[in-house]
């Protein structure tokens, strides 16, 4: 959920702690963190509709990280469109929204924020997972 931007900054801090505790195999700390991350653990499973549930997680989140990379107007516009598509269970149009602005540019800003500040080059994946690949 971090990579789609649907968790909060606080949940991300807990996520990072969880990974460190997993590396240390600290089971009591892992259990404690999983309790604190109960909302994230309980997020709906995607099944055959990954874009629908990605959009749903995003609009239902109280303070998603992704929201901090756009204006309030952009966020309201995006979530308004997504909410109507979620109600209609319109996976294909949600996929189109995912691959176009403002959702695409907001995600790009989020990805670029993950690059080290002093890096001269930073590559981020912005293409859709649904694009066919010919090897």
Chain CA centroid to CA 121, Å? 23
Q: What is the pLDDT along the chain (135 residues), one digit of tens a residue?
A: 888 999 999 999 999 999 999 999 999 999 999 999 999 998 877 788 999 999 999 999 999 999 999 999 999 999 999 999 999 999 999 999 999 999 999 998 998 888 877 777 776 665 544 444 454
Non-local CB neighbours of 18 within 8 Å, separated by 6+ positions: 30, 33, 34, 37
Q: What is the DSSP letter of 54?
A: H
Residue 126 pLDDT: 54
* Cβ–Cβ under 8 Å, residues 8 and 16: no
Write down the pTM of the prediction.
Answer: 0.79
Residue 124 pLDDT: 63
């Amino acid at each position: 959920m971090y990579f789609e931007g649907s968790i909060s900054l606080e949940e991300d801090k807990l996520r990072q702690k969880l990974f460190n505790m997993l590396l240390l195999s600290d089971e009591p700390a892992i259990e404690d963190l999983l309790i604190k991350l109960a909302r994230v653990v309980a997020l709906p499973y995607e099944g055959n509709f990954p874009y629908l549930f990605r959009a749903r997680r995003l609009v239902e989140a109280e303070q998603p990280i992704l929201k901090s990379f756009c204006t309030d107007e952009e966020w309201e516009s995006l979530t308004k469109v997504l909410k109507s598509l979620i109600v209609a269970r319109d996976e294909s149009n949600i996929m189109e929204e995912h691959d176009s602005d403002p959702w695409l540019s907001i995600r790009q800003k989020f990805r670029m924020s993950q690059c080290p500040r002093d890096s001269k080059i930073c590559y981020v994946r912005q293409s859709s997972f649904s694009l066919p690949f010919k090897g």
